[in-house]
Amino acid sequence: MNTFMGMETAGVEALARRYVAAAGELDLLQRRLANVGAEVTWVGEDRVGFDQVLSGTVLGLLKTGAQDLATHGGQLSVHVAEQELASAAMDPTLEHSASGLDFIAALGTFAPPRHTVPGPGNRSGPPGGVGMGAQNYLTGGVTSDGLEPRQVSEEERRLELLRDGTGDYSLTETDVEYVLENYQVSEEELVEWSVKEPWRTLAELAGLRSETVEIPASEAELLDGLGPSGMLEFNANKDLAESESMDRFPSGDTVDNHQDAFRHAYINALTANDLGDSWATDYWTAHERIPGNLPAVEAMDLYNNQVGRRIAGENPGATDAELADLVEEAIHNGEMVVINSDGELVPSNSIGMDETGHPVPGESAEGRNPAEQTYG
C-alpha cells in the first residue's frame, strides 16, 4: 500500500487564500472597533486609560491575530510556489495550477512608486502628505499619537476647510500665501526600505521586482506596520490614483500640475477610506520629510493631500469613482494649488495645464517656518 507524500497545490493555495482573507476581515474589524468611540466627547485621564487598555487587549489581539494569519497564508503560498517551480524544473510540460504563482503575482511588490521633481530636491517614493503624528493643520482635533491639540488661530480658521460641511472652499491669493508659508515639515534621515519576508520571497518567486528604495525612516516604519491586507489596499490605491490622474489630466509632465494635484488628493482620499484618516495623514506626510524638498512643491503636496482627506471625510460611503469625480471638481473649483510657469504656487483654477511649471531650485523647505516643523 502506497502512502501519498507531497502536496496537492490547488488545495493548499486555496487554504492560503482563506487565511489571507480571514486576516483581512480581522484587520478590518480591528480598525472599525478602534473608531467606534471616535465621535464621543470624552477627554481626560480616564479616557486615555480606557483607550490604552482597549488597545493593549482586544484591539492588540485582533491586530496580532490578523498579522499571524496573513503570515501563515503567505508561508503556504511560498511552499506552493516552490513546489510548482520544482515540478516545472523536473518536467517542463507540466502546467502550473494557475493559483499559486498567479496569487503571488497579485500581491505585487508593494514598493512605493518613484516620484521625481526637477532640481536638487529629488524625491523617490510615493506622493507626499501632512503631519507625522500631528493633527490636521487647520481643523484642530486630537493628534494621532494622543497628544492634546494645539490651538487653532483665527487666521487658520479663515482657511478652515471643514466649515460645517458647507461654504466656498476655493482659494484666494492671500490663502495661497498662507499655505506656502505654513504647509512645511521638517526633514528626516532616509533609510533603505524594501518589502519584508515572506512577501518579498513571494514577489521574487513570481519574477516581480521588489526593489529597495530610500525613504524617510518614519515612512518605512508605517509601511512595515501595514500588514499584508493593508499593503494590498495601499498598492491598489496607488495604481488607481496614477491611472485616474493620467486619464483625467493627460500630460507628459507628471509633477507640479493639475495631474499631480489630482493624484495627491485622490490617493489621500482612497487611503483615508481604506486605512483610516489618521494613518493616511501620518503616512503621506512622512514622504515630504525628504531632504531638499522645495517649499512650493512641499506646500502643494501637503495641502492637496489634505483636500483629498477632507473630501473623503465629507462623503462617507462614496465609491472610488465618486471620490475621483469630487477631487476633479475641487481642482476645477480652485480648491487646490498648482505651480505656474514662474514657479509660484497658485489656485488650481487660475491657470490651464499648459501654463504650469516648476519652482526654481534654491531655498529648501527646511528653512521655512521652523515652528511648524516640530510635528513628528
With both helix axes pointing from N to C terminus, report the angle between 258-275 and 227-248 in degrees, rounded to the nearest 10.
Answer: 150
The whole-number pLDDT of residue 99 equals: 41
Q: Are residues 269 and 355 in the same domain?
A: yes
Q: Rounded to 5 degrees, what are φ and ψ at 353?
A: -60, -35
The pLDDT value recorded for residue 297 is: 95
Whether 103 and 166 share a structural domain: no
- One domain, residues 92 and 170: no
C-alpha cell at 99: 493559483
- The closest alpha carbon to 288, from 368, 355, 234, 354, belongs to 368
323 has pLDDT over 70: yes
- CB neighbour list of residue 78: distance below 8 Å, 6 or more residues apart: 198, 201, 202, 205
Grade residue 208 by pLDDT with cuts at 50, 70 and 90: low
Contacts of 46 (CB under 8 A, 6+ apart): none
Q: Which residues form the domain of 28?
A: 9-107
Residues 294 and 175 in one domain: yes
Which residues, 6+ apart, have CB-to-CB distance to 214 below 8 Å? 124, 125, 190, 191, 192, 193
Distance CA 268, CA 270 (A): 5
For residue 17, being part of any structural domain is answered with yes
What's the whole-model pTM score? 0.61
The reported pLDDT for the residue numbered 70 is: 74
* 182 and 70 part of one domain: no
Half-sphere exposure of 291 (CA within 13 A, CB side): 6
Burial (Cβ within 10 Å: 0-12, 13-18, ≥19) of residue 367: exposed
Say yes or no: 53 and 166 in one domain.
no
Same domain, 231 and 326: yes
Residues 89 and 162 in one domain: no
Question: Is residue 168 located within the same domain as residue 51?
Answer: no
